[in-house]
Chain A
Amino acid sequence: MDATAIISIFVLAVFIGFEVVSKVSSTLHTPLMSGANAIHGVILVGAIIVADHSTTNLELGLAVAAIVLATINMVGGFVVTDRMLEMFKGKKK
């Protein structure tokens, strides 16, 4: 991918990231942080790619560790966020 395309994607994503969370009530700060935390667990995709690329035992060992950590981050993150938000259920009258 060429540099211009990457910079464009990066800059647009920055603006979207700023835009979507600009007004959030403090009630939702913790779940939002937790949800964003789960989203960066998608580094799992990167960990799987490097595990595929690995040629030596050292590389594979580190890649496997990365997969374990990334899976914990992603799956645990979404589950714990859901548990937090579950508490808000039934609040609507």
Chain B
Amino acid sequence: MSRMFYDLVGLSAGICFILALKGLSHPRTARRGNLIGALGATIATIVVFFFVTKPKDGSAAHALPLNNLGWILGAMAIGLAIGVPAARKVQMTQMPQLVALFNGAGGGAAALVAIVEYLRLGAGATTAVVIFTVFTVIVGCVSFSGSIITFLKLQELMTTSPVVFPGGRFVIAATFASVLGVGTWVVTAMGTTPLLVLSGLSLLFGVLFVLPVGGADVPIVISLLNAFTGLAVAASGYVLDSVLLIIAGTLVGASGTILTRLMAEAMGRSLFGTLFGAFTAKPQEASGATENRSVRSGSPADVAILLNYARRVVIVPGFGLAVAQAQHTVRELADLMIAKGIDVAYGIHPVAGRMPGHMNVLLAEASVPYDQLVEMDEINPTFGQTDVAIVIGANDVVNPAAKTTPGCPIYGMPILEVSNAANIIFLKRSMRPGFAGIENELLYDPKTMMLFGDAKASLTKVVSALKDI
């Protein structure tokens, strides 16, 4: 196969990726877009077996087949055996952390690719190649370790609130400075040891970079690390002389940056604030006063009565709905109310759940009609005419602290203004604060009724109580 043909195939795979991103931006074409992307990736992976690239140190390319072919195919088989079942079996609730892990795997792979090529080239590498190697290693390692921390946070294997320690920002700044310093050292000294030190420091920086990010902002960071991995892949494309890697990596880097900004906007955060706001975060003020305050707790029958005499009900789903897998039950409740002539809508906060769009996906699975899902900007003005707002396993997205308490981690985030509804029902497992770790004043509001327990179990009881009325 000629170099020209190889590069043209690379270009067509690149076009597939552009069409994939374009398709993924519209609901109707999204699934096809993803398949086109998979097609491009498949083409690119097949063609690489039929062309031997010449290393940059000028040595001649060997004849086909590729060296180490058995190892390559074996490693791909292992990757398939891990990746496919993981993607198939994952619960909808755990999808965000799986995406984070996949992203970390990509970042790690990019860093390893650059390291191997560097080891091989040794003194034969040009300065430009070494600079791009250093970039790939830094960014790839940061993406790898950072993604693992986001995974641990989302899986709740570690605390979800910002981890801030005294002098933390100086440690982060010092680590970043040493990453840059060692990077320069690698470029000038060209040794294996400096590169290992660089990898270690970059991994450390990735951890320090993500630790201070509060739980609610984690999705934004995943998106940012996703863009990082894209850039690392693009840089490795230069090292390996691959047009395809440059195109694909840059596309992901650029679109990932835009997407990160869109997500931050949907949450009403500045990107800068998300990443650096936690550096100045103060420990939560102890809310001793709240402990003795009483909440109004009701039974499923109380809730059913309230709903039965309502004219308009807005359902606000959150992560608790996803955890309890209660999407089908909530639909049953909604259908029952509609049958009774009650006006029902779902108020969807853009970042309810663990990721933007999480609730749409979940409710679509239960085939909730699309026109019942109302976005935040449209639903907010209607809460004044709403008799009952049912908040199911959501907390931060309705927390008035986002408007009233400057300095709290979610301050400035637009919320669903359920406090304007005549009655509020909270379905929660406990009084525990939400993902962002902030006390919610609304729980103590006189017009709020709490229904404690697993969302699915509670909803089932409400449904049967409502049927009996």
Contact = CB atoms under 8 A, between A and B. Distances in A.
Interface of A: 1, 3, 6, 9-10, 13-18, 20-56, 58-60, 62-93
A42 B84 CA distance: 16
B233 A33 contact: no
B37 interface: yes
B230 interface: yes
A80 B357 contact: no
A91 B372 CA distance: 11
Contact of B250 (A1, A10, A25): A10
A28 B24 contact: yes
Nearest to A10: B250
Nearest to A22: B258
Contact of A17 (B24, B66, B252, B263): B252
Contacts of B44: 42, 45
A65 B33 CA distance: 29
Contacts of B251: 13, 16-17, 36, 39
A23 B248 CA distance: 20
B84 A35 contact: no
11 contacts: A39-B230, A42-B244, A43-B236, A51-B68, A64-B75, A68-B75, A69-B109, A72-B86, A73-B103, A77-B102, A83-B87
A90 B376 CA distance: 23
Interface size classification for chain B: 35 or more
Interface stretch (B15-23, B281-289, B416-424, B450-458): B15-23
Contacts of A38: 34, 37-38, 41, 102
Given A27-B27, A62-B115, 6 more contacts: A15-B254, A38-B38, A42-B13, A47-B113, A67-B72, A76-B82
A59 B118 CA distance: 10
Contact of B110 (A17, A34, A43): A43
A32 B103 contact: no
B99 A48 contact: no
Contacts of B22: 20
Interface of B: 13-14, 17-18, 20-22, 24-28, 30-31, 33-35, 37-38, 40-41, 44-45, 48-49, 52-53, 55, 66-68, 71-72, 74-76, 78-80, 82-84, 86-88, 90, 92, 95-96, 98-99, 102-103, 105-106, 108-110, 112-113, 115-117, 119-120, 128, 219, 222-223, 226, 229-230, 233-234, 236-238, 240-259, 262-263, 266, 350-351, 355-358, 360-362, 364-365, 367, 369-370, 375
A45 B45 contact: yes
Q: Is the interface of A mostly helix, strand, loop or mixed?
A: helix
Contacts of B360: 27, 88
Given A21-B259, A31-B24, A32-B259, A73 B254 contact: no
Contact of A44 (B109, B234, B369): B109
A45 B222 CA distance: 23
A27 B79 CA distance: 30
B246 A88 contact: no
Contact of A40 (B71, B115, B248, B370): B248
Contacts of B219: 30
Nearest to A56: B119
Contacts of B37: 35, 38-39, 78
Contact of A18 (B24, B25, B26, B255): B255
A14 B254 contact: yes
A50 to B, nearest CB: 4
B24 A35 contact: yes
Contacts of B21: 17, 20-21, 32, 35-36, 39
B31 A75 contact: no
